[in-house]
């Protein structure tokens, strides 16, 4: 066993080397288009779009370091806690150029899936991946055999690249297991897709994740330990059990490090997945292409903020920046929509009727 002084000196030299490599580098935000395949057999497994959106919100908070619990990062690691400058958006254009919400609900006859990737193939009761160089694929389903999620590393075949998550650990609202209720399981698994390893104990305190600023723990931590969790490998700072790649509870995790940021971005700025950041599928090419909402469906247009949609089906409205601002299932055939609290300007409408027709267009608020 190395002495505590030897361990600290080795780690200090690694950190110095890392910071000299990364100093003065400025990264641009990488935005990853996401498609979520919801595989369901029971109604409980068919999670809502709102639950899916809550998971996207968690990812953007965690990877952007705007999560509310950053205040729980110990002072010793505040300087290396990273905004990874990686963000996520639900795709708005499907592989055929048609508008989409980025969420695909697929009914299956499979009672539960496991980690054999069957969920990623239509022929095996799942749903085929969308082009992994243009979309980041997430499959949500009933996972059995004790799994709550698993990931494919970037070296894996493209048609299975992405993460698989159990339906009741995905997001932070709706049908959620109280033990995994903050969406951090998905944060953890997606980081594996970007080449991060678990912070797992190894013998002799040897670095196990190729990231110099993440201290290797002596033992695996579960639950939510009290800081500092001093150990043989980290007798001064303690173990970094609050890292997103640790094994602790959702409520205990709150940071990625600068070294982890560098490693993840290396995947997303190199072939083949550098094309994700230039994929335009989060833009509204499909909406602009169809633009087939007639005056009798939405009126008056322009509007002072309140208008009528004469249809039955699913209505979604986006602002010019692609943010979903309104969603409602229309059941009456003639519904009044109130956007009077929103700014004047142009908004995009996506309407999927109960007959399977898709209408898209613009509403102008004056």
pLDDT at 321 over 70: no
312 against 117, higher pLDDT: 117
323 — pLDDT class (breaks 50, 70, 90) = low
Q: Could you give the angle at the alpha carbon of 209 between the alpha carbons of 274 and 32, nearest 5°? A: 25
* Local confidence band at 5 (pLDDT 50, 70, 90 cut-offs): very low
Same domain? For 267 and 312 the reply is no
Report residue 101 as tokens: 């919400």
Is 236 among the domain residues? yes
Q: Within a domain: residue 225?
A: yes
Same domain flag for 292 and 344? yes
Query: What tokens were used for 252?
Result: 């205990």
Q: Any alpha helices (H) in 115-269, and if so which ranges? A: 184-193, 258-268
21: pLDDT strictly greater than 80: no
CATH number for the domain that contains residue 312 = 2.60.40.3080
Q: If you average pLDDT over every residue of the chain, what do you get? A: 86
| Chosen domain end from 221, 246, 278 | 278
Co-location of 157 and 302 in the same domain: no
Is 39 inside any structural domain? Answer: yes
Lowest mean pLDDT among 101-115, 296-310, 343-357: 343-357
pLDDT at 295: 67
Residue 65 Ramachandran class (φ > 0 left, ψ -120 to 50 alpha, else beta):
left
Distance CA 84, CA 307 (A): 41
- The confidence score (pLDDT) of residue 322 equals 58
Question: How far is it, in rounded angstroms, from Cα 180 to Cα 114?
Answer: 19
pLDDT digits (tens, 9 = 90+) for 101-152: 899 999 999 999 999 999 999 999 999 999 999 999 999 999 999 999 999 9
Q: Are residues 331 and 242 in the same domain?
A: no
In a domain, 7, yes or no: no
Nearest-angstrom CA–CA distance, 260 and 197: 9
Length of the chain: 366
Domain span holding position 299: 285-365
Q: Determine the pLDDT at residue 205.
A: 85
Out of 45, 61, 85, 189, the active site residue is 189
Residue 15 has pLDDT above 60, yes or no: no
Q: Domain with 97 in it: what CATH number?
A: 3.40.390.10
More confident residue, 315 or 150: 150
Percent of residues, the chain, with pLDDT higher than 90: 58
Q: Are 354 and 313 in contact (CB under 8 A)?
A: yes
Phi-psi domain of 97 (left: phi exceeds 0; alpha: psi -120 through 50; beta: other): left
Place 242 in a pLDDT band, splitting at 50, 70 and 90. very high
Residue scoring higher pLDDT (154 or 315)? 154
Contacts of 155 (CB under 8 A, 6+ apart): none
Task: Provide the domain count of the chain.
Answer: 2
Q: Which of 88-102, 104-118, 300-314: highest mean pLDDT?
A: 104-118
Is residue 296 predicted with pLDDT exceeding 90? Answer: no
- For this structure, is 189 an active site residue? yes
Q: What is the C-alpha separation between 343 and 278, in angstroms, rounded?
A: 29
Domain-terminating residue out of 278, 311, 328: 278
Which residue, of 225, 247, 278, is where some domain finishes? 278
Shared-domain flag, residues 34 and 128: yes
* CA 47-178-151 angle, 5° bins: 60
For the whole model, what pTM was predicted? 0.73
For residue 262, the model assigns a pLDDT of 97
Give residue 366's Cα distance to chain centre: 35
Residue 149: exposure state from Cβ atoms within 10 A (0-12, 13-18, ≥19): buried
């Amino acid at each position: 066993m190395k002495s505590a002084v030897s361990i600290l000196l080795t780690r200090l030299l690694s950190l110095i080397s890392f910071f000299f490599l990364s100093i003065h580098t400025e990264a641009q935000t990488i935005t990853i288009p996401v498609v979520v395949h919801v595989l369901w057999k029971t109604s409980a497994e068919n999670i809502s779009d709102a639950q899916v959106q809550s998971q996207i919100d968690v990812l953007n908070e965690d990877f952007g370091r705007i999560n509310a619990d950053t205040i729980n990062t110990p002072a010793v690691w505040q300087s290396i806690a990273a905004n990874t400058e990686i963000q996520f958006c639900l795709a708005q254009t499907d592989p055929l150029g048609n508008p989409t919400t980025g969420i695909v609900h697929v009914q299956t006859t499979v009672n539960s899936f496991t980690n054999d990737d069957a969920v990623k193939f239509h022929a095996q009761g799942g749903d085929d991946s969308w082009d992994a160089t243009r979309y980041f694929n997430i499959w949500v389903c009933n996972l059995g055999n004790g799994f709550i999620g698993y990931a494919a590393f970037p070296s894996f075949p493209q048609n299975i690249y992405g993460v698989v998550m159990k339906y009741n650990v995905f997001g932070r609202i709706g049908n959620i297991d109280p033990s995994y209720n903050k969406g951090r399981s998905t944060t953890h698994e997606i980081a594996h897709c970007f080449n991060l390893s678990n912070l797992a104990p190894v013998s002799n305190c040897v670095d196990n994740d190729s990231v110099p600023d993440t201290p290797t723990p002596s033992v695996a931590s579960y639950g939510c330990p009290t800081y500092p969790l001093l150990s043989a490998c980290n007798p001064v700072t303690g173990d970094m059990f609050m890292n997103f790649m640790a094994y602790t509870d959702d409520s205990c995790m709150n940071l990625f490090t600068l070294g982890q940021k560098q490693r993840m971005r290396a995947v997303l700025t190199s072939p083949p997945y550098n094309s994700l950041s230039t994929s335009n599928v989060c833009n509204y090419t499909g909406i602009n292409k169809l633009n087939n909402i007639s005056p009798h469906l939405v009126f008056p247009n322009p509007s002072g903020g309140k208008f009528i949609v004469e249809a039955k089906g699913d209505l979604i409205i986006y602002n010019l920046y692609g943010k979903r601002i309104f969603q409602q299932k229309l059941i009456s055939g003639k519904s009044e929509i109130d956007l009077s609290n929103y700014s004047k300007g142009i908004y995009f409408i996506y309407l999927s009727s109960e007959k399977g027709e898709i209408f898209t267009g613009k509403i102008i608020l004056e």
